[in-house]
Structure 1
Amino acid sequence: MAFLTLLNIKHWSVRGFDFPIVQLLVLSVTVSVVSVIFENYQTNIAIIGLLLVNIAIVYHLMRVIPYTKIYPKEVQNNTNNNRKNTLNIMSFNVLMTNNQYDRLLQLVKENNPDILLLLETDTNWETAMKDLDAEYKHQVKIPKDNLYGMHFYSKLPLETNEVNYIVNKDIPSISVKISLASGQKVQLYGLHPMPPSPTESSDTTNRDAVLLIVGKEAAKSEIPVVVFGDLNDVAWSRSTRLFKKISGLLDPRVGRGHYNTFHADYFLFRWPLDHLFHSKHFKLNDIKVLPHAGSDHFPIYVSLQFHSENNKQQESLECDSDDEEEAEKNINEAFE
């Protein structure tokens, strides 16, 4: 299982092993320790087995360590607060059948985000969130009963707003240009691509294409960019790493933690499905996973600070010709 994800196979049965990396690491360490205690290693098979398990441990550690505090931060901490250049974002996959609306409204009140993105929203959720309309006057509402509704609420003015169906005609994404209080323009993308699973998509082709198409747009943007939402992928996967290379965006979790948002009900089976990536123009004020609000996801909150000089202070992953070729191939496969 440990090495299956090294293969560039997009079927859900393979890509699913991207998610429980910490669980696989714990399992590998357990197997190694038990083997050392109870196995006498008098056969070549036993020795090879232990070697493979230990290689798996190293492999898993290499993927996990960037999302711990012992690793260098990819995004610097902000030390110069200026509210006019602050951007506070909250994102939450509400779970369409969840009806604990008041718990979410309370979290919004407590955290007071400038931008709120709600996913899996239908007309019931739209009605339940009507109290937000007075304070969040700038909105994009896409109620759907197929688990892919989106509602975008903003205190900040929208210069432009678009609803796009990038790959699948039933799955929207939101693209808006906002103005910070300082007047600085920022391009935002709210995404919720289809996950690889036996009940939704047999492979990651469509999900990866959405990420890479948006990544290419982000790389061309002349203004700061933020991409966020439930990306149905984990931070350490091959596809997310390729997205970061293509887009040039940064991940504030690197050097800080996993910030697991799914599954909210099962402590032993959690991983980071809800993401926020941003261009080099921002430093980090805060990032936190918010309390349970009735969904299978936790909400996530990120506070960013715009700094015009950050282009040279923070480094993104390098993108080479092989990465460009792989991205183009992945995008083309989605439209074949």
Structure 2
Amino acid sequence: MQTAYYILVLLLFLFSVLPKIPSQHWIFRVPDFGKIQVTIIAAFVFFSAFLIQDKIPHFWYYQAFLLFLLIYHSLILIKYTPLYKINKHKPGKNSSEKIHFISANVYQFNKDYQRFIHLINDCKPEMFLTMESNGSWENALTVLEKDYPFHHKVTLENTYGMHFYSKIKIEQSTTHFFVADDIPTIEAHLKTDDGYKFVFFGVHPPPPSPTEEETSKERDGDLLSTAKRVRQIEKPVIVVGDFNNVAWSKSSILFRKTSELIDPRIGRALVSTFHAKYRLFRFPIDLMFHSEEIFIEDLKTLDNFGSDHLPVFCEFFIDHKNDEQESQIETADFQEKAEAEEMILEGKKESSEREKIATED
């Protein structure tokens, strides 16, 4: 027990310190994903240690350190719970009708197409976005096109294909390849039947990991390029997708400040999505951000349909004349803007060895 205590304290220290090191190598970026688990384990180790207190020299020094870690991580995570109070907003006379969307990383090698189709038919969102959708998924989803006559398809076999389907009219849509010619971002301009215009971005940058990209350079460059593009748009904006990032990471905060968008998880819930099969090792990496004219009514995960990600469901409305969310917007200062530009350039320079046609390991 004594040895286990020392090992756990050391691991908790490493997982807390490594994300603070300004390197984009996966060794330093991946530990940020586990902040929820680090907090839970820190609490478990802290309270369990009292059972072996007499066997641990300098016991209170270790406990004080664990208590510091527990408080530090909790203060960050509490923002993503209902305990962190934010103002709730109700639709007014200038509001649009309620709009719903589903965002889902379908997992390219998941062949259970019908479960996802049932999910869409049951929830009946006005829009849905699929990621990792290849030609087989595109063929399977054609049965939904009678209900979703507007779509934008980027069919790839490298696990970065994306498909956007909508009942709301798409007036214009574009595929961006901000940092690499095989990593798309969808930009769709929509107009509702009641005359409200908004822009939907679908993103899915590559993750830093020992099995995929060695660094987060492409991910960060892609997301910050999207943030810059958002700032050029004068309509309400939603950015949705598998960010392969967590909301509290430095690059996510820089994305939020650069884009001047709002994180709807704050004051609501973590909405953890990956890995769908392992509840105790689940991270909130399927994110969304929105402009101040968009008001979130509901944000939650839905049941697993066979993917390694849980789908995300959102209900929102648009109100151009309500400025009550303006105080939630943070802007990047000069140094942060320069840092964002540097990360975009690094992302574009980064070379990758991704296969054009991915195979399941």
TM-score of the aligned structures, taking structure 2 as reference length: 0.88
1:106-125, Cα deviation, whole Å (9 max, x unpaired): 11111111111011011111
Q: Structure 2 regions of 5+ residues with no counterpart?
A: 1-14, 350-361
**1:193 alignment counterpart:** 205
In 2, Cα distance between the equivalents of 1:303 and 1:82? Answer: 17
| Alpha-carbon offset, residue 318 of structure 1 | 3.6
1:242-257 aligned at under 5 Å gives the runs 242-257=254-269
Residue type at the aligned position of 2:63: L
Residue type at the aligned position of 1:330: M
TM-score of the aligned structures, taking structure 1 as reference length: 0.94
**1:15 alignment counterpart:** 29
In 1, Cα distance between the equivalents of 2:41 and 2:56? Answer: 24
Q: Structure 1 regions of 5+ residues with no counterpart?
A: none
1:246-284, Cα deviation, whole Å (9 max, x unpaired): 111112111111111111101111111111111000112
In 2, Cα distance between the equivalents of 1:151 and 1:42? Answer: 56
In 2, Cα distance between the equivalents of 1:324 and 1:131? Answer: 45
| Alpha-carbon offset, residue 330 of structure 1 | 1.2
What's the secondary structure of 2:246's corresponding residue?
Answer: coil
| Alpha-carbon offset, residue 323 of structure 1 | 1.7
In 2, Cα distance between the equivalents of 1:217 and 1:78? Answer: 29
Match of 1:138 among 150, 173, 179: 150
**1:326 alignment counterpart:** 339
| Alpha-carbon offset, residue 82 of structure 1 | 8.1
1:14-48, Cα deviation, whole Å (9 max, x unpaired): 1111111111011111222233332349855x443
**1:230 alignment counterpart:** 242
Matched, 1:55 2:60: no
1:1-336 aligned at under 5 Å gives the runs 1-40=15-54, 43=57, 46-73=59-86, 76-80=88-92, 84-314=96-326, 315-336=328-349
> Is contact 1:164–1:174 with CA below 8 Å preserved after alignment?
yes
What's the secondary structure of 1:301's corresponding residue?
Answer: strand
What's the secondary structure of 2:30's corresponding residue?
Answer: helix
> Is contact 2:155–2:163 with CA below 8 Å preserved after alignment?
yes
In 2, Cα distance between the equivalents of 1:171 and 1:247? Answer: 20
The alignment yields a C-alpha RMSD, in angstroms, of: 1.9
What's the secondary structure of 1:309's corresponding residue?
Answer: coil
What's the secondary structure of 1:160's corresponding residue?
Answer: strand
Residue type at the aligned position of 1:37: L
| Alpha-carbon offset, residue 285 of structure 1 | 2.1
Q: Which has the higher contact order (CA 8 A, sep 6+)?
A: 1
Percent same amino acid among aligned pairs? 34
